[in-house]
Chains A and B, each alone.
Chain A
Amino acid sequence: MQTWSLVSMCVLLGIVVRWGVSLNSYSGAGKPPMFGDYEAQRHWQEVTYNLPLQEWYSNTTENDLNYWGLDYPPLTAYHSLVCAYVAKTINPEWVDLHKSRGYESPAHKLFMRATVLVADLLIYIPAVVLYCLYLTDGSTKKKVCTVFCFLLYPGLILIDYGHFQYNGVSLGFALWGVLALGLGWDALGSLAFCLALNYKQMELYHALPFFCYLLGKSVKLGLMGRGLFLLVRIASTVLVTFALCWLPFLSDPGDAMQVVRRIFPVARGLFEDKVANAWCSLNILIKIRSILSSDSQIYISFACTLLAVLPSCVRLLMKPTFWQFKLALVRGIQLIILPLFLKDGLLVPYAVTSLAFLFFSIYLLSALEHCSEEELRLGAFHKLLFCLPKLDLFYISVSAMAGLSVVTVALVPPTHLPDLFPVLVSSTAFLHFLGTFIYFNIVQFSEPPSRKSQKKND
């Protein structure tokens, strides 16, 4: 069957699942006074539409930063402004300054969900399709399966269409960046990634691989010739992009600093909402908060993060191939936030989309079983975990996740450990992350098999 028809069917299915999930409840629905992320996005539309640009990130009488103050970079603010213009034409009550706080209605929910879908259709979905069609190996069917799995990935669907966020935009831009780098268009790739960074500062997680790959590539081309030219082009692209995004704030350095302070709130501490990371897990064993001061926590966390990604970045610098770059990117931290979904009443969509993803990963993985062990380079991995064969590991992890999900819903935690389940979920997530982290480190540092595509990307 023709590729375009298969791909369009995958995209349509992705849209159906996304819209189906979005008909469910959103973050903070019906929960005054603060509501949730949905109200935060609506509030940003209100703020950006009604207030002058200099006041968006500052605490003024008109703009109370304690009530969902803007804490994403300027591109998010511009996006909210565009949405606000549309909202104003449909129903001005949605963005009335102060009066629209906590506004909830079926029509408004439809509008907000539609903005997420439109953003996805314009930015994320085309990036996924083009990436899978042009930068993955294999037959057409395999590429279409990859598109399918990408588009059905439950984490993104549930967060964006359930909980309510716009991660598709920043991830989409980052993916455009990866796509451009894969096709050899380095300047365009840097442009796209800068846009991603200016949309959500979380993309900083991916900044190091981008930086190391481009730097390594320039060095390889020769710092006295083409390499320097490339470096200059990339640097100027980055500077111009940043300048254009921050232009309205650059007239007053105070404004720019205020924005930076809002984007990087170092006073918030390490444990915000029990997200999955090492600190939360480590805290079970050692009460870190009581040992170290807030500042020391920040410095140590920064140092450890850097140490963790350093080996792969050094490898990337020395051997800047696209394959190595993709591996380094996988270090993007993945957050499993089941308790957050439960707070928003999203259990059914969570179950459904996770199941869908699992089904198809299993079917694809069973296709993967036909690959030789050598291709997967799991030999070294097995040496580390000699007691557990590969397949059992997969099913153990799936059972653990399923079991945790069921337990979190069905049982009530003991009174002396009220946060038992969220912490368990975070720890499990971190263990998974650690496992895949080690695996990909092994993959990156062992000899790659000779592949035609490898030569093509070099």
Chain B
Amino acid sequence: MRALTSCIGPWCVARCLSDLLLICHWVCVSVSHSTDFEVHRNWLAITHSLPVSRWYHENTSEWTLDYPPLFAWFELGLSHAARHFDPDMLLVENLNYASPSTVLFQRLSVIFTDLLFIYAARECCRCVQDQKGSRDVLNRPSFVLAVLLLWNFGLLIVDHIHFQYNGFLFGFLLLSVAKHLQRQHLQGALLFSVLLNLKHIYLYVAPAYGVYLLRSYCFTQDNKDGSVSWSSFSPLRLLALGGIVASVCALSFGPFIAMGQLPQVLSRLFPFKRGLCHAYWAPNIWALYNTLDKILATLGVRLKLLQEAGLPRASMTGGLVQEFQHSVLPSVTPSITLVCTLLSILPAVASIWFRPRGARGFLRCLLLCALGSFVFGWHVHEKAILIAILPLSILAVENREDAGIFLVLTTTGHYSLFPLLFTPAELPIKVSLMLLFTIYSFTALRKLYSGRGSLLRPLESVYLLGLVGVAFACEVAFPLSPWQQKLPFLPLLATSVYCSLGVCYSFLRLYASLLRPPGKPKQP
């Protein structure tokens, strides 16, 4: 077996694993799906049955089209294939239609589009430098990265069980990052423009792209001390970039601008009427803020400092997405979150302007933009943590400190996805897959950096062990306890608060690693 594996590249072994992965996806075909399934079915119906002018006005279903137009074109393409499986799913009136052929088609479409993700993962693995030596295939950084990307627990659940096309979209993101790592900036820019026009949530990381491309691509040279050499500015490159972005946007938005529907499209894409937090609080700073507000309110009522009647009704996690007023602390508006987000990513962006560290510095900045937007953003979905986790995998296999941060962020982030799958039927699968990924990431990264001490600091290890306790309490102990009826939101609250601690901590550590001057010895 050793002879066999040493002569085939790590990619071949990883490809064998990716075959197994596709097979596992098939196995999940029968698992129950979420509302997102109906969302996408509805979009297939809208794009297939209605003229383009009606796409962003249609609201028969509550799940209106709220992705950019390029995604609508993508759904149109899919709908032509869907016709052969079950034409009834393409009728707009067929709300919540979920015949077996429909489910099969939808799942197949995710599996099929995931091929792009597999290709992107392969490109990323090619960018990772393997040390020369007699290292066994299974211990090479490129192989570890392949498994960490392809078997990412979060992606598996969100795409294949919960149902979305994130694999497809992350394929574009990772491919774009890989192109930048390979110094093919124009291709990277093209891929990112396409991505932005497929799902606008990636605006989170647009500042990183913008500043990096401007600084490191448009300015062809640096001064000797690393600062900007204004004379080396290349208008041609700027024009090329601008041209690429403009043409992709034109392709996507063109027809709607021509029909004068741009304001309508934008209002659908950015629905700020939704609340500060999603029905289930994403583990960000606002979850901690909300909890503090709740605690202060309860204390205030107990200590007779506040009137209970004067407090707004608590339904932050009641399952409905509403606007919410805080009781004690000042209310948070979308503009406040925008300002906080911009302030949080400013140091990172400034860092790659003043001290560019090449493509890996760009990757770090991208991570920080994604994580900053997650921590401070308005109406963030917990799934957005994947935008930070996947690129961090690339850094984790190359740098020891990043590996430690990766372990904390990934385990915490993945655990925060548990409430997405809440039926008892899904419990064994989500626990087994989570354990599988966690065991692999810990053992593989430890092996990669063996001999230089533990990857995790003691406090971090204690925190992660605490996750096990929280998991047990929320999944097993709480449903069987008497508080289940009185305080049904308690497990969600506990999960989100506990995970936000881990996420915010990882954010701070990543910042520290970016802002630390190069060459300074790392703390043990």
Residues in chain A within 8 A of chain B (CB atoms) = 1-2, 5, 8-9, 12-13, 15-17, 19-21, 23-24, 106, 110, 117, 138-139, 141-142, 145, 348-349, 351-353, 355-356, 359-360, 363, 366-367, 370
Contact = CB atoms under 8 A, between A and B. Distances in A.
Interface residues of B, number: 31
Given A1-B443, A1-B447, A356-B20, A17 B27 contact: yes
Contact of B24 (A17, A23, A24, A363): A17
Given A12-B432, A19-B432, 14 more contacts: A12-B435, A13-B24, A16-B24, A16-B27, A19-B429, A20-B429, A23-B31, A23-B425, A110-B425, A138-B1, A349-B27, A351-B26, A352-B26, A355-B23
Contacts of B139: 1
Interface in B1-44: 1-5, 16, 19-20, 23-24, 26-31
A117 B28 CA distance: 17
B436 interface: yes
Contacts of A142: 1
Contacts of B258: none
Interface centre among B3, B16, B27, B28 (most CB of A within 10 A): B27
Contact of B31 (A20, A106, A145): A20
Contact of B443 (A2, A12, A19): A2
Contacts of A17: 24, 27
A20 B3 CA distance: 34
B16 A363 contact: yes
A356 B23 contact: yes
Contacts of A145: 1
B428 interface: yes
B148 to A, nearest CB: 13
A16 B160 CA distance: 14
B29 A370 contact: no
A19 B425 CA distance: 9
Contacts of B433: 12, 16
Contacts of B26: 348, 351-352
A342 to B, nearest CB: 15
Given A2-B443, A355-B23, A16 B432 contact: yes
Nearest to B434: A12
A161 to B, nearest CB: 11
A353 B428 CA distance: 18
Given A1-B444, A348-B26, A348-B30, A366 B4 contact: yes
B519 interface: no
Contacts of B289: none
Given A1-B444, A117-B428, A367 B27 contact: no
Nearest to B16: A363
Contact of A23 (B30, B138, B439, B440): B30
A249 B433 CA distance: 45
Contacts of A360: 20
B312 interface: no
B439 A141 contact: no
A75 to B, nearest CB: 26
B16 A9 contact: no
Contacts of B27: 16-17, 20-21, 349, 352-353
A122 to B, nearest CB: 15
B51 interface: no
A353 B27 CA distance: 8
Contacts of A13: 24, 432, 436
B428 A139 contact: no
B424 interface: yes
Contacts of B23: 352, 355-356, 359
Contacts of B31: 20, 23
Given A348-B26, A359-B20, A363-B16, A9 B428 contact: no
| 3 tightest Cβ-Cβ pairs between the two chains A and B | A20-B27, A5-B443, A12-B436
A367 B12 CA distance: 14
A385 B245 CA distance: 66
Interface of B: 1-5, 16, 19-20, 23-24, 26-31, 138-139, 424-425, 428-429, 432-433, 435-436, 439-440, 443-444, 447
A110 B19 CA distance: 29
A415 B5 CA distance: 52
Interface centre among B19, B24, B139, B432 (most CB of A within 10 A): B432
B408 to A, nearest CB: 19
Contacts of B444: 1
A20 B19 contact: no
A159 B31 CA distance: 19
Contacts of A367: 1, 4
A307 to B, nearest CB: 39
Nearest to B32: A23
Nearest to B13: A363
Contacts of B30: 20, 23-24, 348
Contacts of B3: 370
A445 B385 CA distance: 61
Nearest to B444: A1
A348 B24 CA distance: 12
19 contacts: A1-B443, A5-B439, A5-B443, A13-B24, A13-B436, A15-B428, A15-B432, A17-B24, A17-B27, A20-B24, A23-B30, A23-B31, A141-B5, A348-B26, A348-B30, A352-B23, A352-B27, A359-B16, A359-B23
B439 A9 contact: yes
A158 to B, nearest CB: 12
A341 to B, nearest CB: 14
Nearest to B20: A356
A348 B29 contact: yes
A9 B1 contact: no
A110 B1 contact: no
Contacts of A355: 23
Interface centre among A8, A12, A141, A353 (most CB of B within 10 A): A12
A145 B5 CA distance: 13
A12 B443 CA distance: 15
A147 to B, nearest CB: 13
Contacts of A370: 3-4
Given A20-B31, A23-B30, A106 B425 contact: yes
A106 B426 CA distance: 13
Contacts of B20: 356, 359-360
A419 B444 CA distance: 52
Contacts of B447: 1
Given A1-B447, A359-B19, A110 B424 contact: yes
A359 B22 CA distance: 12
A21 to B, nearest CB: 7
Given A16-B24, A141-B2, A9 B432 contact: no
Contacts of B5: 141
Nearest to A109: B425
Nearest to B27: A20
A352 B108 CA distance: 13
Contacts of A19: 428-429, 432
A137 to B, nearest CB: 12
Nearest to A24: B30
Contacts of A23: 30-31, 425
A117 B444 CA distance: 28
B137 to A, nearest CB: 10
A306 B435 CA distance: 48
Contacts of A5: 439-440, 443
A105 B401 CA distance: 50
Contacts of A353: 27
Nearest to B23: A356
A9 B436 contact: yes
Given A5-B439, A9-B439, A359-B16, A141 B1 contact: yes
A355 B21 CA distance: 12
B429 A16 contact: yes
A222 to B, nearest CB: 41
Contacts of A117: 428
Nearest to B425: A110
B1 to A, nearest CB: 5
A352 B20 CA distance: 10
